[in-house]
Amino acid sequence: MMGGFIFVFLLVQLYSVITGQGWYVKNYGEGAMSLLYFGIDMFGLAQFFHTPTFLATFWYMSLAQIIVFIIPLMIMVYRKFGTVTLLALSIMVSMLFPVDTPSNKTYAYLPVYIVCIAVGILASDKNLLVKMKEFSLTNNKFVGKIIKFLVYIILLVAIWYYRKEMLGTTILSVFEGLMTITLIGFMFEFINPIPVVGRALKFLGVYSMNIFLIHNFIRVCWYYDFTYSFKYPVLIVVVLLVVSLVVAIVIDLIKKLVRWDKLISVLQKKLIGMVSE
């Protein structure tokens, strides 16, 4: 995970230098501390130390690292104490560390998303998405599908509305969890089966990480005027997605060209060897 991030991180730094659109001194300051901030940001740790980042979007890497370490603990709780305990504890964490306090920064927004993580664990263990798809409200499958489609739409609108009302509150994480499972359930049953759409989403998924990491550089840092020159919100989003996708594909090609993944694999093996010794 961090290998892919570091590669993109170094590329955007290099591109910023070449194009003169921002060098790390501009973001991190000057002197020895700027090099320290650079290293902290490159390893996705800035959220923990409250140090500068080259781009605000990189805060997510700190959260991603917490998720990697906390999931085994949450699975252990789930297997030992069950579904209710896991959900209750995740909600308690979100309420004990509300989003409008300094602890939110320390824990990299974990309180906001911890219920989503719990729901993901449950969905995986209980094969929940498949069960939701197979469930029918009537014996007539066609009628049942129509009813489920309408129910999903009503639920999504309702959750979206109340989620907006809960922004900045300690109960927000519950609505994040509800929105996550409902939206994914809807897409799994009604969107992914559409041949062209399903393949397109799968293709986007392959490059989704690079798209996420690069899109704000295009939108904010490098080509703001170009991005918003299209005026209409939907058109802006489409253009930004297409440009970000093209850049993401180029990044992936460069990564393969320099054999970055092989380098990371070698480093992983050496690190595992050192730890095992």
Q: What is the pLDDT of residue 23?
A: 56
- In degrees and rounded to multiples of 5, residue 171 shows phi and psi of -100, 0
Same domain for 131 and 199: no
Same domain for 161 and 239: no
Domain end call among 193, 215, 249? 193
Task: Choose the weakest-confidence range: 3-7, 59-63, 215-219, 273-277.
Answer: 273-277
Q: Which of these, 75, 159, 82, lies nearest to 124 by C-alpha position?
A: 75
Same domain for 200 and 179: no
- In degrees and rounded to multiples of 5, residue 98 shows phi and psi of -60, 155
Task: Choose the weakest-confidence range: 80-84, 166-170, 248-252.
Answer: 166-170
Same domain for 70 and 163: yes
- Joined together, the tokens standing for residue 97 give 């560390």
What average pLDDT does this structure show over 222-251?
A: 90
Judge whether 40 and 51 are in contact, CB under 8 Å.
Answer: yes
- Joined together, the tokens standing for residue 216 give 């704000």
Alpha helices in the chain (DSSP H): 2-19, 24-28, 32-42, 46-49, 59-81, 83-96, 102-106, 110-125, 128-134, 141-165, 172-186, 195-206, 208-216, 224-227, 233-257, 260-276
Same domain for 205 and 165: no
- Joined together, the tokens standing for residue 165 give 């009302």
Confidence class of residue 104 from pLDDT cuts 50, 70 and 90?
very low
1 lies in which domain range?
Answer: 1-54
Domain end call among 177, 193, 209? 193
Is residue 276 scored above 70 in pLDDT? no
Judge whether 205 and 145 are in contact, CB under 8 Å.
Answer: no
Same domain for 205 and 182: no
Confidence class of residue 107 from pLDDT cuts 50, 70 and 90?
low
pLDDT digits (tens, 9 = 90+) for 157-181: 999 888 887 776 777 888 888 999 9
Is residue 224 scored above 70 in pLDDT? yes
What average pLDDT does this structure show over 205-226?
A: 86
For the chain, how many structural domains are there in total?
Answer: 3
Q: Which residues, 6 or more positions from 200, have their beta carbon under 8 angstroms from its beta carbon? A: none
Please give the model's pTM, rounded to 2 decimal places. 0.78
Helix 110-125 and helix 83-96: axis angle, to 10°?
A: 170
Q: Which residues, 6 or more positions from 107, have their beta carbon under 8 angstroms from its beta carbon? A: 66, 97
Q: Which residue has the tokens 């009628």?
A: 143
Length of the chain: 277
Is residue 139 scored above 60 in pLDDT? yes
Decide: residue 58, CB within 10 A, 0-12 exposed, 13-18 middle, 19+ buried.
buried
Confidence class of residue 74 from pLDDT cuts 50, 70 and 90?
very high
Domain end call among 143, 174, 193? 193
Same domain for 183 and 130: yes
What average pLDDT does this structure show over 23-41?
A: 73
What average pLDDT does this structure show over 130-145?
A: 85
Same domain for 186 and 68: yes
Is residue 211 scored above 70 in pLDDT? yes
Same domain for 179 and 91: yes
Same domain for 163 and 123: yes
Please tell me what DSSP assigns to residue 218: I
Same domain for 138 and 85: yes
Judge whether 119 and 79 are in contact, CB under 8 Å.
Answer: no
Same domain for 100 and 45: no
